[in-house]
Amino acid sequence: MASRRGGTILPGASRQSLGRAPPRQLSAQWGALRFIGDGWEEHMPTMPGLDQTARAIVADGKGILAADETVSTITKRLTARAIESTSDSRRAYREMLFSTPDIAAFIGGVILQDETIRQDSSTGIPLLELLVGRGIIPGIKVDTGVHPLAGAPGEFVAEGLDGLRARLEEYHELGARFAKWRAVFIIRDGLPTAKCIHANAHALARYAALCQEQGLVPIVEPEVLMEGAHALEQCEDVTGRVLQAVFNELFDAQVSLEGMLLKPNMVTAGLRCARQASVDEVAEATLRALTRHVPPAVPGVVFLSGGQDAVLATEHLNAINALGGPKPWKLSFSYGRALQDEAMEVWRGQREQVPAAQRMFHHRAGCDSAAALGRYSGDMEGEAGFAGAAEPPSIHHEPDSTLHTQH
């Protein structure tokens, strides 16, 4: 039986090359590793180390950069900007983001992809170390994508459980301290079915238990897709049913809620719905769903952007945090395109544009950080966001037509 480990990162820890360290040396660099023993205690109490790591990722005003796009997904985004997608260009793009000055003030964790966690920077330093040296906690995407669910036409299930224990162990040794698994749910003509909800909730729980066994904080991502013509009320109903099923399965799997993070969708109307909800309506419906279905033991809820444009994703997050009433979890962000697209538009693969692109990324992360504290204002958009550019970059967000796209 594999050892059950808990570990926490001390921000600003060793700047030595973690990517090259053997497992025993790596553990010492990252702080104490506590071995729990051969069996879970009843009802899975808080695991030493994992709860600290989870809270550090969502410390006041901090969120997550989702840089875990698959090679095919990032290739589409680069190609759309006339940038050839190669291992070097993908590395250069991620390095530009990770090396942005002072970005750790806003970003507590970064989700990596298998290619990225193994890459070195242009100076020979592992990309993972660029994050660690800034006190940013590295994580890793571990599902292998969504595939048609047998016996459920039009529905999908995330796969990747086979061999997951060994992969998690390797990622832990490489330096990852949290992981992410994404499940998707479609609202359309009686979907999602109870079968689809159960299959994905069960897989999320099995993944989360394996993560905690290997000393990784699991990010649990049940995404109700924005694609469709559904109303806000229907999204709220489906989101509530999905969250309830997920936490039922997490409890049955004896997952420590204190040592995990939830990455849900916001409650919105479908992209093709004739009536789009206001920012305040989205905030109220989202908080209502969380209050009814997410236990207060969970330390943080980090929303996905789901194809929202950068400013709208920021406005929604701010409105949720500005609402009154009890909010026992940190409410923050785990954005992909909503954090990156403005910077990528400025960068366009040109080395001389790196400083301007980094200023753009820093600005957007700062706005989202303020939103995570309920302190964002539209006036912030003109302060520094377009430094280095003659005018704001024009970005048209198409709905994500592929279920494999990461947010």
**Residues that are catalytic:** 221, 263
CA distance 353 to 389: 10
Report the DSSP beta bridge partners of residue 107: 63
CA distance 116 to 139: 11
Whether residue 295 is preceded by a cis peptide bond, meaning omega within 30 degrees of 0, is: no
Report the DSSP beta bridge partners of residue 141: 180
Other residues' Cβ atoms within 10 Å of the Cβ of residue 25: 12
Report the DSSP beta bridge partners of residue 5: 35, 214
Burial of 225 (C-beta count, 10 Å sphere; 0-12/13-18/19+)? buried
DSSP 22: -
Q: Which residue is listed with tokens 């900007």?
A: 81
Task: Give residue 190's region: left, alpha or beta (phi > 0; psi -120 to 50).
Answer: left
DSSP 214: B
Q: Which residue is listed with tokens 């394996």?
A: 210
Q: Is 262:217 a contact under the CB 8 Å cutoff?
A: no
